[in-house]
Chains A and B, each alone.
Chain A
């Protein structure tokens, strides 16, 4: 994940209050991930089983195959486990 500069205590709203609604989408949880799903698009049959199983809605549908939204994918590996054609491999994240 990018090393964005976060605001300091002098500028953030007091008391941990969030002043705009729906801001949870801005909270990129992808940096919790230890393993990243990599999809072999040649094997993927676009059955969408991974899309149904993903607990975080991080599988994105494309026309011929799926892809992963790495901003939110926490790397749980459920998609790889459920894939009937073994098109998803979990690869360790390295910095």
Chain B
């Protein structure tokens, strides 16, 4: 039977991993991710899982160990944050390049300097192009649900790519929520065990990580382009299968009030919760506002976003990271590219918020919606990139 359990975001990910028959976990502690591996190591200690837990001396080693284990055909999980993800940077590309279906919990946290432990998206956006499927959860329930789905997405023959499940540092990682968990047996039959077609096997020797120069490297990258594009279909079919066992519906993007909205805010992760709350209260007063939340950031849901913005007159894109020196910040750059490709002329405002964990209040979001409504009337954007919540 499914049970309602009080779990923090970190604990929910650890609990999901416990149910997913994971063979190997190699990880290193870092705030605010630590509780994931801490909770999981307790499961190992108590004999609740058969997982091999490898203690390593750094995140670089953690992901290296995961890659080796994944190549043997094992199901592998790790987790990290911020500087840890940055230290993994070169191994991130090796994991995707060698097509290792590793699942990683990323508890998003600001990057140094100055040192900061709170939530923003600069860590994952800094590794945006590493070839991983990137999922952003809005709340603890979603963190649990996506972690389970991530293993099936990663290991699907059409994808065979590493997947990161992102949750906002502290806002989700340390927030206690009632989580509707699934029965162990239901998860077990959903994820089964990993069935790798090519593995490291002394009886059938292969070479992995061989030199690949001007004659083949490009072909390998072209394969990755196709694999991550194809993974969108995989994600959708995994979502359908998951709905069958959980009753919860997931997709590539999530929308709220978008049917008749003239103005929408598009954002990732936990901020979408606050934004939906504000949109809901404004809609009750007759304002036509909505919310678009990409669950999947890579592969980028270009078609889905273009479709969701069909009836809009203005769109506000929230970025919790900076792309220094770029015309727009990471999420907004992608949104604008998608709109341009679809030959859509839509007024867009890019808003940077919440860096280093700075709070964004419902009143800030209400202000942004009001500004969007003004733009929808005048058709004029005064400031294409603006900053909310920073002192002048």
Residues of B within 8 A of A9 (CB): 218-220, 222-223, 226
Report yes or no: B219 in contact with A17, Cβ–Cβ below 8 A.
no
Contact with A along B146-187 (1 / 0, CB 8 A): 000000000000001000000000000000000000000000
State whether A16 and B206 are in contact (beta carbons under 8 Å apart), knowing that A8-B219, A9-B222 are contacts in the complex: no
Contact of A6 with B216 in the complex, beta carbons under 8 Å: yes
Q: Verify if B325 is at the interface (C-beta below 8 Å from A).
A: no
Interface centre among A6, A7, A18, A21 (most CB of B within 10 A): A18
Q: How many residues of B contact A (CB 8 A)?
A: 22
Q: Is the CB of B97 within 8 A of A12?
A: no
Scoring A residues 1 to 37 as 1 if CB is less than 8 Å from chain B, else 0, what string do you get?
0000011110011111111110100000000000000
Type the 1/0 row for A36-77, where 1 means its CB is closer than 8 Å to any CB of B: 000000000000000000000000000000000000000000
- B206 contact from A6, A12, A14, A19, Cβ within 8 A: A19
Asked if B207 is at the interface (CB within 8 A of a chain A CB), the reply is yes
Question: A16 touching B212 by the CB < 8 A rule?
Answer: yes
Q: Are B210 and A14 in contact (CB under 8 A)?
A: no
Chain A: how many interface residues by the 8 Å CB criterion?
A: 15
Contact B222 A16 (CB under 8 A): no
CB atoms of A16 and B209 under 8 A apart: yes
Classify the interface of chain B: helix, strand, loop or mixed. Answer: loop
| Prevailing SS type, chain A contact patch | loop
How far apart are A31's CB and chain B's nearest CB, in angstroms? 10
In the complex, how many angstroms separate the beta carbon of B219 from the nearest chain A beta carbon? 4
Judge whether B215 is part of the interface by a CB distance below 8 angstroms: yes
The chain B residues found within 8 Å of chain A, CB to CB, are 97-99, 160, 198, 205-210, 212, 215-220, 222-223, 226-227
**A interface residues, Cβ below 8 angstroms from B:** 6-9, 12-21, 23
29 residue pairs A–B, Cβ–Cβ below 8 Å: A8-B219, A9-B218, A9-B219, A9-B223, A12-B216, A12-B219, A12-B220, A12-B223, A14-B99, A14-B160, A14-B223, A15-B97, A15-B98, A15-B99, A15-B208, A16-B97, A16-B209, A16-B212, A16-B220, A17-B98, A17-B198, A17-B208, A18-B206, A19-B198, A19-B206, A20-B206, A21-B205, A21-B206, A23-B207
